[in-house]
Chain A
């Protein structure tokens, strides 16, 4: 391997690593607030990418039907709950968000002829279709289990992952898609060609990470989310709605996931089930951060990207084996470090 190749691989690794880092942050966020190990994170990546690809192929994206169906189901549950408590007045905002909004989005997507739109608007519409699925998934699968143990929530997360993969196959079919890059530009730094998409990915990641930090450290709402993560009962007694916190966390995670999908779709072909491995690699990063520390999780994820990139050069058949085996010494190290915590009251 000469320097040229090494730098090229480094660029690849960094790009993927930045995506993994975003996913790692979302995982840390969701886990901290809801204690859900969010295995289905990867499906949002795939849904984001494939929705955008559908627009570009002038097809109605299947996520539309998913959004309408999930919204309808949530509405049904909420109305049922309201009827039981004889407080129908309270469901108006729910219906607005779960029925009216999807209908509006559907109308725009079907009638607006998005294939002719500029890429940026297509991206926005894709996000607008995929992101609300996050809170809906929370409402349907996790909210009724808010007091369950982490293990039960983890098993539910795995089940939701399988459901979403199955649905992905149903609505997008088995073919993969690639989308055009955000920027065709390419420039040279020293002897190495840097393409525009890489810059996009890196800048977008940094901006997102920075805004998350400000949100959690400086705003009352962000602190309330952190408080929910630390002590649910305590948060509830301060009037912080854990349900709202959960939905917000899932919304942020869906946003990060779908946006990552849009970012990565020009780099690799995305299939309905590609999200899982991408998500899991974000996961390895998140675990490096102990599912609690944002900066360490991000650094871990970048490391995973680099490791993957270089091992694909030397031992491409064993790329996945190497990446996922990395997790074990990391887990071991973490558990040795955090041994006492388990036994503290």
Chain B
């Protein structure tokens, strides 16, 4: 336990001593490193963890800085702003409020954008806000605002850089801890699940739009606080440090430090700031003219890093420090299921005349389907018959064109995947959707998202540990249930494909479903593994869970299921007991080719 914290304690000790022994110049440098680290922490959260890239964080720094500069220096303020004026602390609150509002609006507009559109959007608003700062007269235009008051904390005036140093680094350390806490929680797993695509996360009951907004607003808050500190440290601001160029630099810092790691933000900010300072001193004299030539070296460095060492510096450093990651603690205990076990034969899923069109193409036509509790139904048919489409329509990924879907008596067509998942329908995917770098346990725990109630604040402060233990225990129990107990802490990506499919079943079970939708669960499994899977599904059936599965392996299907529904060209061509279906001439012609 002590060893794990040793590196951290040494680091904090070193930080504490620095301003006492270092000359002014280096203290200033460390101050800037701290301020950058704060913003970069937000970039790590956005980019490395959430998979959203932003070049525009500098604009949020600007919002924080300009809010406090304006409110603490302006004299004749309009009446409605006047109460916020004067105190830097009230200005901080006002800045956070403003940043929150702007982030919510920008987030609403740009977070829906997938892939590379988001970073392009951030470039656009990064430029827009910069020109806005520079062109608004009440913000001093491109000359800026001076005479920002000195900050005082508990009566101590932070007039010098040395005094300010402690405030900056305490804020950085607190922020690092809070973000670490957040990531190691239910909400954090939901955020990390974003990298696996929204389809999987939504099917596990995660509100992905909300998760994206959380990281976006948090990153903006971190930038805003950094801007507030900057304004009171410098006591003068102009638009330059809030332009796109600086926004790009924050992203560089994250990449250099290691965008997937919280400490990467601090390492990256330090490495980048020191290197830039050094280059700015040396390059102009070397090249014989003044200008910002350091970008040439820094740019080349970044390209080389992305080509050769994309993980950044932190993983290299982390190897020197013994195991900084907290071991996951859990115990395997049976937790009572949330959904009551239903009596055998209770109707679970009832699809009536479902029709789904893509453009003019009819993928499902007049499909009706019944699944009861404690029943396994197979959906079979040739490729392209519309089985996967049916799955996606039933689970709410796609809206249907006409018809209705009832789940436990309630109309669910028109609901999104998330709402349906929360009602007790859980699924696996034809193409495995796991987070390969996360442990098996954490992957499965994503499935239990709906079990928790604790919010972001509780997660940041780790006041939800009881709930977290319960979730992990329940997840561990599901892993034992499917027989993957020995791989509990292994990265999910290290399992063979067949077992990754089983892992997906455990994740689906973690949602405590009354109905399971399994898309080709036996594909890629060896004979014995298939038998084990069959056993598992039979046990689930005995517990009263309904199962609808798509499968190609006829031997597997025939020995296992209660009923078969056969599809061709989007329609149901036969339904009945496996033996009946096998003898059905229409099925033989369409699917089995008369061979059997």
The answer, among A156, A170, A342, for a CB contact under 8 Å with B293, is: A170
Q: How many A-B residue pairs have CB under 8 A?
A: 139
Query: Which A309-345 residues have C-beta < 8 A from chain B?
Result: 317-318, 320-321, 324-325, 327-329, 331-332, 334-336, 338-340, 342-343, 345
When distances are taken between beta carbons in the complex, the residues of chain A under 8 Å from B121 are 327-328, 331
A193 beta carbon closer than 8 Å to chain B: no
Instruction: Say whether B291 contacts A170, CB under 8 Å.
Output: yes
CB atoms of A287 and B120 under 8 A apart: yes
CB contact between A165 and one of B120, B197, B295 (< 8 Å): that residue: B295
In the complex, the answer to whether A343 meets B199 with C-beta atoms within 8 Å is: yes
B306 touches A145 (CB 8 A): yes
One of B53, B252, B299, B310 near A166 (C-beta < 8 A): B299
Question: Which A residues lie within 8 Å of B117 (CB)?
Answer: 287, 331, 334-335
Q: In this assembly, does B132 line the interface, its C-beta being within 8 Å of a C-beta of chain A?
A: yes
Provide the main secondary structure of the chain A interface.
helix
B62 in contact (CB, < 8 A): no
The 9 closest A-B pairs by CB, nearest first: A163-B299, A166-B296, A327-B124, A162-B299, A159-B302, A166-B295, A317-B135, A159-B299, A162-B295
Q: Which of A173, A284, A327 lies at the interface centre, i.e. has the most chain B CB atoms within 10 A of its CB?
A: A327
CB nearest neighbor in B for A173: B289
Q: What's the Cα separation between A85 and B109 when bound, in Å?
A: 51
| Residue A107 interfacial (CB < 8 Å) | no
Separation in Å of the B117 CB from the closest CB of chain A?
5
Encode A151-172 as 1/0 by CB contact (under 8 A) with B.
Answer: 1101110111111011101100
Residues of B within 8 A of A342 (CB): 114-115, 197-198
Instruction: Enumerate chain B interface residues (CB-CB to A < 8 A).
Output: 47, 53, 55, 106, 109-110, 112-117, 119-121, 123-125, 127-128, 131-132, 135, 197-199, 245, 248, 251-252, 255, 287, 289, 291-296, 298-300, 302-303, 306-307, 310, 397-398, 430-431
Instruction: Please measure, in the bound complex, the distance between the C-alpha atom of A154 and the C-alpha atom of B306, giving whole angstroms.
Output: 11
CB-based nearest A residue for B310: A152
Instruction: Verify if A283 is at the interface (C-beta below 8 Å from B).
Output: yes
Of A148, A154, A343, the residue contacting B53 (CB under 8 A) is: A154
A138 to chain B, nearest CB (A): 12
CB distance from B298 to the nearest CB of A (A): 7
Given A155-B53, A163-B300, is A324 in contact with B125 using a C-beta cutoff of 8 Å?
A: yes
Count A interface residues, CB 8 Å: 50
Would you call A325 and B114 a contact (CB within 8 A)?
no
Known: A148-B306, A162-B295, A325-B125. A154 touches B112 (CB 8 A): no
A110 proximal to B (CB < 8 A): no
Cβ–Cβ < 8 Å partners of B55 in chain A = 158
- Nearest A-chain residue to B115, judged by Cβ: A150
**How distant is B410 from chain A, measured CB to nearest CB, in Å?**
25
Q: Which of A35-56 contact B (CB under 8 A)?
A: 37
Contact A159 B113 (CB under 8 A): no
User: Is the pair A169, B198 in contact by a Cβ cutoff of 8 Å?
Assistant: no
- CB proximity of B130 to chain A, nearest CB, Å: 9
Given contacts A159-B302, A163-B295, A170-B296, contact A324 B116 (CB under 8 A): no
Closest chain B CB from A254 CB (angstroms): 18
Give chain A nearest CB distance to B103 CB in angstroms: 14
| Further pairs besides A159-B303, A160-B303, A343-B197: 8, Cβ < 8 Å | A150-B115, A159-B252, A166-B291, A169-B291, A173-B289, A174-B291, A324-B127, A332-B112
Contacts of A327 in B (CB 8 A): 120-121, 124
Minimum distance in angstroms from B44 CB to a CB of chain A: 14
The CA of A145 and the CA of B305, in the complex, are separated in Å by 11
Q: Which residues of A contact B255 (CB under 8 A)?
A: 155
Q: What residues of B have a CB within 8 angstroms of the CB of A161 in the complex?
A: 299
> How far apart are the CA atoms of A328 and B105 in the complex, in Å?
11
B123 x A280 contact (CB < 8 A)? yes
B397's closest neighbor in chain A, by CB? Answer: A343
The answer to the question of A118 belonging to the interface, with a C-beta cut-off of 8 Å to chain B, is no
Using Cβ atoms and an 8 Å threshold, which residues of chain A touch B300? 159, 163
Tell me the complex Cα distance, A327–B122, Å. Answer: 10
23 inter-chain pairs at a CB distance below 8 angstroms, sorted by A residue, are A37-B116, A140-B303, A141-B303, A155-B306, A156-B302, A159-B300, A166-B295, A166-B296, A166-B299, A169-B291, A169-B292, A325-B128, A327-B121, A328-B106, A328-B124, A328-B125, A331-B109, A332-B110, A332-B113, A335-B113, A342-B114, A342-B115, A343-B197
Q: In the assembly, what is the distance between CA of A329 and CA of B128, in Å? A: 14
Closest B residue to A140 by CB, please name it. Answer: B303
Q: Mark A89-124, 1 if CB is under 8 A from B, else 0.
A: 000000000000000000000000000000000000
Pick from B114, B123, B124: contact of A335, CB under 8 Å: B114
Interfacial residues of chain A within 285-329, with CB under 8 A of chain B in the complex: 287, 291, 317-318, 320-321, 324-325, 327-329
B116, B135, B199: the one within 8 Å of A150 (CB): B116
Tell me the A167-201 residues at the B interface (CB within 8 Å).
167, 169-170, 173-174
Contacts of A317 in B (CB 8 A): 135
| B119 close to A151 (CB less than 8 A) | yes
Q: Which B residues are in CB contact (< 8 Å) with A325? A: 124-125, 128
Pairwise interchain contact A156-B306, C-beta atoms closer than 8 A: yes
| Smallest CB separation, A273 vs chain B (Å) | 10
A3–chain B nearest beta-carbon distance, Å: 29
Q: Is A239 an interface residue (CB 8 A)?
A: no
Distance in angstroms between the alpha carbons of A182 and B106 in the assembled complex: 44
Smallest CB gap from A284: residue in B: B124
Q: Which residue of B lies closest to A326 (CB)?
A: B124
Q: How far is the CB of B196 from chain A (nearest CB, A)?
A: 12
Report B-chain residues with C-beta under 8 Å of the C-beta of A210.
none
Pick from B47, B106, B117, B132 the residue with the most CB of A within 10 Å. B117
**Are B306 and A162 in contact, CB atoms less than 8 angstroms apart?**
no
Q: Is the CB of A162 within 8 A of B431?
A: no
Residue numbers in B under 8 Å from A328 (CB-CB): 106, 109-110, 121, 124-125
A90 CB → nearest B CB, Å: 22
Question: Could you tell me the distance between the alpha carbons of A151 and B303 in the complex, rounded to whole angstroms?
Answer: 13
Closest to A316 in B: B135
**CA–CA, A55 and B148, complex, Å:** 50
A327–B292 CA distance with the chains assembled, in angstroms: 29
In the bound complex, CA of A155 to CA of B199 (Å): 26
- Residues of chain B lying within 8 A (CB to CB) of residue A169: 291-293
- What CA separation (Å) do A284 and B293 show in the bound complex? 28
Q: Cβ of A174: which chain B residues have Cβ within 8 Å of it? A: 291
Residues of B within 8 A of A173 (CB): 289
Let me know if B307 and A145 touch, CB within 8 A: yes
Nearest-CB residue, chain B, relative to A283: B120
Q: Please determine whether A324 and B124 come into contact, CB atoms closer than 8 angstroms.
A: yes
Contact partners of B397 in chain A: CB under 8 A: 343
Q: Would you give the shortest CB distance from B173 to chain A, in whole angstroms?
A: 28
User: Which chain A residues border B110 with CB–CB below 8 Å?
Assistant: 328, 331-332
C-alpha spacing A325/B132, complex, angstroms: 11
Residues in chain B near residue A140, CB distance under 8 A: 303
Which of chain B's residues have a CB closer than 8 A to the CB of A291? Answer: 116
Shortest CB-to-CB span from A36 to chain B, Å, is 10
Closest chain B CB from A308 CB (angstroms): 13
Tell me the minimal C-beta distance from B392 to chain A in angstroms.
8
Instruction: Compute how far the CA of A213 lies from the CA of B260 in the bound complex, rounded to whole angstroms.
Output: 42
- Shortest C-beta distance, A322 to chain B (Å), equals 8
